[in-house]
Structure 1
Amino acid sequence: MSKRWISFDLDGTLMQNPFGAWVFPEIARVISIQLGREHDIVSEMVAEHEQRMSQKRYVEAYDWDDILASRCDAWSIEKMIDIESLVRKHSVMPKVKLLEDGILQMLEEIKKRGFSLAVVTNGFYKFQAPVMEALGLLEYFDEIITPERAGTGKPDPVILQKLQGEVIAHVGDRLDHDVQLANRSHVTSILIERNLPEELLKLQPRMRANDHGMPLFCLEKWRRECKNLLLLELPELFMPRMVIHSMGELLSALDEQGMG
């Protein structure tokens, strides 16, 4: 019998990683010490990441060690930091956390319904696995698809093709990565958005996506993702098929769609 998959994004969807609050600030401190002055190396790294993404160099865009090495070369200093080691150092609670209570129980229930679970993330395995392990997530997933393993990243549909069987739905928090990936792959796109306005919050998940207020809400969200407030029209590929405000809604949302 062919496997039926539900795939999940990680960061912003299931968990909070330590990069923003702990890993990047430590990198900045070490580099500033090496240079002998305060220097915002993180902004340079993020700019390099965004440039690589715009060039669809999805694997290189999330190779933070390579990005850091390139910035160190530019400043003629030695790269003395191993980012994987920093991630492991900071993968302890409360530096990392699950974004909701009950997430592990929800994953267990989905597995009981006969689904196979996959992570489809743009983070390298060496950066994601320590966080997943610390939070108890690792054991729930049958596959973990990452850019350096797949040879590409979201939103390239090729990354979902690494799953053998039928992908029923992909759940994520970003329109440009997750929703676009699912729609391009002809898979049900499920957006998790924990900051829904009240008028959308009161609707059922399958009704939210079709509500007249959703296109404008998604356009504003896409502008924030792109850091471009001048975008005027949201591509249809970026419109989710279902919208949930918490992982606690996912099971009922799957039932609504006849997927449960």
Structure 2
Amino acid sequence: MQTKWITFDLDETVMQNPFGKWVFPELVAMLKREAVTEEDIMHLIISEHLQRMSDEQFLEAYDWDDILVGLAKKLEIETDINVESMVIKHSKPSKVYLLEENMLFNLEKIKRKGFRLAAVTNGYAKYQLPVLKQLGLDTVFEEVITSDSEGFAKPHTSILGKLLVKGEVIAHVGDRIDHDVQLANELGILSVFIHRSLPEAVLKVPVDERAAHPSFIRLCEEKWYKENRLRETPFLKNKCIPDLVVQSIEELAKEIDVFLE
């Protein structure tokens, strides 16, 4: 029997990384001590990330060390900032966490139904692996596919090349329309969109019918344009609407085998 893989995005899907609350504030404080500028340094960091996304440099958009080197040059300062070491320092309990209380149990529940699990992330390995290990996710995911290890970033389908050699990828789960849903739809596999603040009207609808609900389509379109706010990229239902919509991994674990029969 061919191996059947289900792939998962990491950040905002399974776990919370330390960048927003811990790494970025420390980076900004370090740069402010060296730079003579009135500019908002956090804004400069995010603007460069978004510009790379706009230019479809999806791989380079998550190279935070390179972004910091470029910013330091622009601010005319010398710095030995190492983002990887900062991520390691902040990969501690309470600073990084799983997004659901029973996350590990429910991921294992999916595995017990006969599927193998892999993480597929645009984050670089050096930033993601310390968090995975701290949270115990390194023992749940049999493969961790990062954009820098593959040379491609979502939604480029080649990011899954390694897994496609090892078996069949049958579903991808994630929280972004532009990265996750589009990737799965391009491959023709089950696209599972997770959103933990779904409208009540959508939650009342069966999981496999939510994607057609008008309230969800509006939510989906709004999210698409927010994700692509610097790009003139149209919202196309065949690329942007997922097959399944869930509010939690727990909800997915209860019925995933039914939808993949």
Indicate whether 1:204 and 2:206 are aligned: yes
Superposed, 1:1-260 pairs within 5 Å as 1-35=1-35, 39-163=39-163, 164-227=166-229, 233-259=235-261
Counterpart of 2:146, as a letter, is T
Q: Are the aligned partners of 1:222 and 1:234 in contact in 2 as well (CA < 8 Å)? A: no
* Higher alpha-carbon deviation: 23-32 or 107-116: 107-116
Q: Matched residue pairs, number?
A: 259
* Higher alpha-carbon deviation: 249-258 or 9-18: 249-258
Return the TM-score normalized by structure 1: 0.93
**Alpha-carbon offset, residue 11 of structure 1:** 0.5
**Alpha-carbon offset, residue 231 of structure 1:** 8.1
**Alpha-carbon offset, residue 206 of structure 1:** 0.5
Q: What per-residue deviation string (whole Å, max 9, x for no partner) do you get for residues 9-32 of structure 1?
A: 000000110101110000000000
Counterpart of 2:187, as a letter, is S
Counterpart of 2:57, as a letter, is R
**Alpha-carbon offset, residue 91 of structure 1:** 0.7
**Percent identity between the aligned chains?**
47
- SS of 2:88 mapped into structure 1: helix
Q: Are the aligned partners of 1:215 and 1:234 in contact in 2 as well (CA < 8 Å)? A: no
Return the TM-score normalized by structure 2: 0.93
- SS of 1:119 mapped into structure 2: strand
* Higher alpha-carbon deviation: 155-164 or 178-187: 155-164
Q: Are the aligned partners of 1:72 and 1:78 in contact in 2 as well (CA < 8 Å)? A: yes
Q: Which runs of 4+ in 1 moved over 6 A?
A: none
Task: Provide structure 1 residue ranges, at least 5 long, that are not aligned to the other structure.
Answer: none
**Alpha-carbon offset, residue 221 of structure 1:** 1.8
Alpha-carbon distance change, 232 to 110 in structure 1, aligned in 2, over 3 angstroms: closer
Alignment partners' CA distance in 2, 1:144 and 1:233: 30
- SS of 2:212 mapped into structure 1: coil
Pairwise CA RMSD of aligned residues? 1.9
Alignment partners' CA distance in 2, 1:253 and 1:40: 46
Q: What per-residue deviation string (whole Å, max 9, x for no partner) do you get for residues 124-169 of structure 1?
A: 0110011111111111111111111111101111112221211110
**Alpha-carbon offset, residue 176 of structure 1:** 0.7
Alignment partners' CA distance in 2, 1:23 and 1:73: 20
Q: Are the aligned partners of 2:54 and 2:228 in contact in 1 as well (CA < 8 Å)? A: no
**Alpha-carbon offset, residue 112 of structure 1:** 1.7
Q: Are the aligned partners of 2:36 and 2:75 in contact in 1 as well (CA < 8 Å)? A: no
Counterpart of 1:245, as a letter, is Q
**Alpha-carbon offset, residue 39 of structure 1:** 4.7
